[in-house]
Amino acid sequence: MKNSTLTPEESLLLITKTIEEMKQRFKNNGHILIFWGLLTFVVAMSQFTLYNFEYYKIHWYPSFLYPLGAIYMTVYIWKEYKKKKLPKTLIGNILGKMGWLIGLNFMILGFFFSQKIGDATAPVFLIFLAFFIFLAGISIKFKPLIISGVMLNLFAFATFYVHDHYLYLVMAIGSFALTIPGILLNNARRKENV
Amino acid sequence: MFKDLDPILHSQLRLSIVSILMSVEEANFSFIKEETKATSGNLSIQIKKLQDAGYVKVEKSFINNYPNTSLSITKKGMEAFENYVNNLKSYINPK
């Protein structure tokens, strides 16, 4: 790029183009949503299966995959940013910290207070998740994420009426609110790059 | 009436640098070089001009024994950019 002066129209075009390119760069995170969606699905289905085969004492063991997933994802994101020398963004920072906060709260609730909140564990988890998905959608202005967040929020309240026997199954269904927008986000990026 | 455009920002490369920094919290030299496709020498000179004007903050450090220069926009830089964009509008949509 040369250091020439520009006409007002060229200046405005350059600003718009640069800011838009920077925004697009950070939309490329569909695989993170797919990862969490699949992990939630695997954990919930494993718990559902163990619960149904009456392994009540160990049916919650698969939930240990969540902290492992969080560690893996943190290392992965950190390495990606370092490798590609990506800049820090305010949105990325806020979403990352909020993701950690929500995840940590859910793990504390799940591991230490599940007896207290009982059947409400699944709906509370889904409300947390819906809140995060909705905010992520607004931040990157991606409609499928916003819609998923709203749908999941409504679905979470409906799960209060589901028999406790099927709560893990409900969580597995809820995981699609991450997987589907993740796939759509990846597809949208691929189309933009063609 | 046309308002004067800030001469510091009214150059292609400096405007690109500031536009990038307006979109991020912090970016390092090599990222900006890659995005603007400018040469290291030219980029350094333009960053120095922006730094002297108080529009960007430059921090030098070492990451794994490699030098790292990170840049961020200052409050003064943000205000200058906003004024610049508003003044541009008066050229494009004169009343």
Per-residue pLDDT for A171 more than 80? yes
Mean pLDDT of A160-180: 88
Which B-chain residues 41-80 have CB contacts (< 8 A) with chain A?
A: 42, 46
| CB-closest option in A11, A88, A89 to B15 | A11
* Residues A78-119: tens digit of each pLDDT: 887 777 667 777 777 788 888 888 888 888 888 888 888 887
How many domains does chain B contain in total? 1
**Interface membership of B40 toward A (CB under 8 Å):** no
| CB-closest option in A1, A4, A93 to B36 | A1
The pLDDT assigned to A104 comes to 87
The pLDDT assigned to A138 comes to 87
The pLDDT assigned to A25 comes to 64
Q: What is the ipTM of this complex?
A: 0.75
Domain assignment of residue A104, given as a range = 30-187
The pLDDT assigned to B74 comes to 95
> How far does A34 lie from chain B, in Å, by closest CA?
25
Share of chain A above pLDDT 90, in %: 20
The pLDDT assigned to A17 comes to 81
State the CATH number of the domain containing residue B73: 1.10.10.10
Q: Is A3 a domain residue?
A: no
Domain assignment of residue B45, given as a range = 12-87
The pLDDT assigned to A26 comes to 57
The pLDDT assigned to A16 comes to 84
**Interface membership of A1 toward B (CB under 8 Å):** yes
Which A-chain residues 83-102 have CB contacts (< 8 A) with chain B?
A: 85-90, 93
Q: Is A15 a domain residue?
A: no
Residues of chain B with pLDDT under 50: none
The pLDDT assigned to A54 comes to 84
Neighbours of A92 (CB within 10 A): 19
Per-residue pLDDT for A142 more than 80? yes
Q: Is B92 a domain residue?
A: no
Q: Is A67 a domain residue?
A: yes
Of B3, B25, B50, B56, which to mutate for an interface test with A (greatest number of A Cβ within 10 Å)?
B25
Q: Is A43 a domain residue?
A: yes
Q: Is A14 a domain residue?
A: no
CB B47 within 8 A of CB B56: yes
Q: Is B6 a domain residue?
A: no
The pLDDT assigned to A14 comes to 84
A18, A19, B11, B53, B84 from B91: Cα distances, Å: 20, 21, 16, 24, 11
Coil/strand/helix, residue B95: coil
Q: Is B83 a domain residue?
A: yes
Share of chain A above pLDDT 70, in %: 90
The pLDDT assigned to B14 comes to 93
**Interface membership of A116 toward B (CB under 8 Å):** no
Q: Is B64 a domain residue?
A: yes
The pLDDT assigned to B78 comes to 93
Task: Sort out which chain B residues have CB atoms less than 8 A from A87's CB and list them.
Answer: 20, 24-28, 31
A22·B20 Cβ contact <8 A = yes
The pLDDT assigned to A157 comes to 92
**Interface membership of B11 toward A (CB under 8 Å):** yes
A39, A50, A58, B18, B80 from A53: Cα distances, Å: 21, 5, 11, 61, 66
Q: Is A41 a domain residue?
A: yes
